Amino acid sequence: MAKFEHIKEHIYKKIESGEWPEYHPVSSENALANQFKVSRMTARRALQELSDEGLVTRTRGSGTFVAPLKSQSALLTIRNIADEIRTRQHRHHAVVKVMEQVPAYPALATALHVPVESLVWHSVIVHFENGQAVQVEDRFVNPRLVPNYGHQDFSVHTPHEYLCEVTPLTEASHQIEAVHPDDRLADLLELETPEPCLQIQRRTWCRDGVVSQAILTHPGSKFRLGGHMTFRSTRKSKGEKS
């Protein structure tokens, strides 16, 4: 492994383990150069690449710091429903309908990478925007990675927020489809007449494995998913902010 990669590895572990939290200062180029017995340019490269990858932020004259976790997913973010509602200046509240431990049926066990019939957390939460139901969140959580999931108050923070805090999320996969809601969903969403629903299945990973699988169902008339992406370079150099 190249020297600059060793240095990256070293810093990466500090961040991943939580030893260096958000905004914690990272050793300077010169400090790393001395510590690892390399030239400043080599230490610099390690920090520069970590900066490119979004793990640290660098400001000239000041130093290098662990980047805030927020700015994670730049592109088609399936955002926290609560945030989304609040940025629309609307009221959000959530009702926890189910919170239990259930044995994992085979498909679920595969999805979460846990033994079949082992207990997993299961929650059903309905999210309201200005009093109208806009999302049913049906979620299964790996208890090995998040043992205290069942003892949180999800009318305050959303499960997504809690999981982001407890486990540093590294990956997510989504499947989106249009479905006809069954009776249970129609009831939870308080739909008078059944209407097409947008259903998002999301699985999230942290470094240690699959954290959670969620099925988010939105009534088609009250929800739209948006995303923006840029394909090619914006011709900006690394340093520039925007």
Partner DNA sequence: TGATTCATAATGTATATACAACATATGTGC
Partner DNA sequence: GCACATATGTTGTATATACATTATGAATCA
Binding site for a copy of itself (CB under 8 A): 2, 4-5, 8-9, 12, 49-50, 52-55, 72-73, 75-76, 168-180, 195-199, 218, 220, 223-233, 235, 237-238
C-alpha span between 58 and 47 (Å, rounded): 8
Alpha-carbon span 150 to 101, nearest angstrom:
8
Token digits for 17?
Answer: 């383990």
Q: Tell me the backbone φ, ψ of residue 19, rounded to 5 degrees.
A: -60, -35
Residue 64 touches which member of DNA, a copy of itself, none, C-beta under 5-8 Å by kind:
DNA
Q: Site residues for DNA, window 45-64 (CB under 7 A)?
A: 45, 47-48, 51, 58-64
Binding mask 3-42 for DNA (x = CB under 7 A): xxx--------------------x-xxxx-----xxxxxx
For position 237 contacting DNA by CB under 7 A, the verdict is: yes
Q: Which is nearer to DNA, 47 or 125 (CB)?
A: 47
Signed CA dihedral, 32, 36, 41, 46: sign only: negative
Binder of residue 26, out of a copy of itself, DNA, none (CB less than 5 to 8 A by kind): DNA
Nearest to 167, CA basis, from 19, 24, 55, 16: 16
Contact 113, 210 (CB under 8 A): yes
Minimum CB separation from DNA for residue 35, in Å?
Answer: 12
Instruction: Say if residue 195 is exposed, middle or buried (CB neighbours under 10 Å; 0-12, 13-18, 19+).
Output: middle
Residues of this chain that interact with DNA (CB under 7 A) are 2-5, 26, 28-31, 37-42, 44-45, 47-48, 51, 58-64, 237-239
